[in-house]
């Protein structure tokens, strides 16, 4: 899903190339949840728990400024956006 709206073009040799996928800043909303991480936790596991879809790990990463890793360190508080459809719509807008 994360890459399905990424722009695709062709290079000078007519090979398909994919442009950079932009991640939107996930705006805080009043119905967001917060959790405190007590042990090193994978973001895809959290996405499965909260969204029933591990491929939405990037939503949690983007909402919390996590880059370059697939896990959250113990002791930090994570914001879990509740309205995933709004986040997806924002993502589609900036990538199409």
Q: What does the alpha-carbon distance between residue 25 and residue 27 come to, in Å, rounded to a whole number?
A: 6
| CB neighbourhood size of 35 (10 A) | 16
- Whether the CB-CB separation of 24 and 91 falls below 8 Å is answered with yes
- Whether the CB-CB separation of 61 and 54 falls below 8 Å is answered with no
- Tokens found for residue 77: 């508080």
Residue 72 is given by DSSP the state E
pLDDT in tens, 35-57: 999 999 999 999 999 999 999 99
pLDDT in tens, 53-84: 999 999 999 999 998 899 999 999 999 999 88
Q: What does the alpha-carbon distance between residue 74 and residue 56 come to, in Å, rounded to a whole number?
A: 21
Q: pTM to 2 decimals?
A: 0.74
């Amino acid at each position: 899903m994360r890459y399905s709206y990424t722009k695709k073009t062709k290079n000078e040799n007519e090979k398909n190339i994919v442009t950079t996928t932009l991640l939107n800043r996930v705006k805080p909303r009043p119905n967001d949840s917060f959790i405190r991480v007590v042990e090193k936790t994978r973001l895809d596991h959290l996405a499965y728990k909260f969204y029933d879809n591990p491929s939405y790990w990037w939503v949690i990463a983007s909402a919390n400024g996590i880059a370059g890793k697939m896990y959250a360190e113990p002791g930090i508080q994570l914001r879990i956006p509740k309205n995933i459809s709004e986040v997806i719509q924002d993502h589609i807008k900036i990538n199409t």
